[in-house]
Amino acid sequence: MTDILMPQCGICAHRGADDTHPENTLAAFREAIRLGAHMIEFDVALTSDGHPVIMHDSTVDRTTNGTGRISELTFDAIRQLDAGMKKNLHFAGEQVPTLDEVLDIMPHNIWLNIHIKGGREVGKITARAVLKHGCIHQAFLAVGDDAMEGARSVDPDVRICNMENQGYDTRYVDETVAKGCGFIQLYGSMVSREDLERLKIVNVRINYFVSNNASEVRKLLSEGVDFVLVDKVEEMLEAARTIGVKPQDFSIGRHSRNQKKLSTDSAD
């Protein structure tokens, strides 16, 4: 995959296109791809029997018609839940997706911001899936230290976004650089100009969580943030376009086995 041209900057669809579609579902991810997002963020957690599924919360209560902690529910039980109807009845029947299902629909030229919900074991399982699907060039794991160690025990070259400290100061930058991370996530404030330049020199990409304000998104991208996590994907892509950041082109770089799947599902 060394010939794949990855986005240099742009818009990250937070949990997919979650403003209009049920978060962390295939429908939300397909919509983000259709719109031309440069990066998609999603969350991986383990069921009680060790299956990686896509969900942000520790419980299924908020986003599905079920109740209970993910870590205490089996995979089969979670797959019986409806993950779409709470967003809109149009999405009734949408399932909680697996990590394999998500990786299987992703074009090769979109960044995958994989937020690990757990420690060493989920880090290892996620890294193995990234390798199996040939996504090592485009995926990075947003993790704490335990999950990072698990992922790197599988492949020392897996990309990491440091989520251990998130102090958003020079120490956080120092730790990110020392760990050899490829990404850092800022929350609500920018680092100093000096730290920003240092991150650029060592090729650490900067993600910013979160903005849904067009003028702020334009400002952040202009000031050196590489990717802004957003919920209003279509609106923020248009804001980025006004400063020369075009939506990502997926006519190339798409998994050939999924071209038909993506085109037929684009109306989700």
Whole-angstrom Cα distance, residue 128 to residue 150? 10
First to last CA, the chain: 29
pLDDT score of 2: 56
Burial of 210 (0-12, 13-18, 19+ CB in 10 A): middle
Region 142-150: mean pLDDT is 96
Domains of the chain: 10-57+102-264 (3.20.20.190)
> What does the alpha-carbon distance between residue 82 and residue 168 come to, in Å, rounded to a whole number?
37
pLDDT value at position 266? 35
Whole-angstrom Cα distance, residue 164 to residue 142?
Answer: 9
| High-pLDDT (> 90) share of the chain, % | 87
Q: Is 113 left (phi over 0), alpha (psi -120 to 50) or beta?
A: beta
- Out of 38-42, 79-83, 169-173, least confident range: 169-173
User: Is the per-residue pLDDT at 185 higher than 80?
Assistant: yes
Q: What is the DSSP letter of 203?
A: T
Instruction: Name the pTM for this structure.
Output: 0.93
What are 219-263's pLDDT values in tens digits? 999 999 999 999 999 999 999 999 999 999 998 655 543 433 333
What pLDDT score was predicted for residue 263? 35
Residue 189 pLDDT level (bands cut at 50, 70, 90)? confident
CB atoms closer than 10 angstroms to residue 42: 27
The position carrying tokens 């997706």 is: 97
Least confident of 164-178, 186-200, 211-225: 164-178
> Cβ distance 265 to 40 under 8 Å?
no
Please state, rounded to an integer, the average pLDDT across all residues of the chain: 92
Q: What is the per-residue pLDDT for 145? A: 94
Helix or strand run (H / E) with residue 238:
helix 233-241
Joined together, the tokens standing for residue 252 give: 């190339």
> pLDDT per residue over 91-130, tens digit each?
999 999 999 999 999 999 999 999 999 999 999 999 999 9
Q: What mean pLDDT do residues 13-37 have?
A: 98
Predicted local confidence at residue 191, as pLDDT: 87
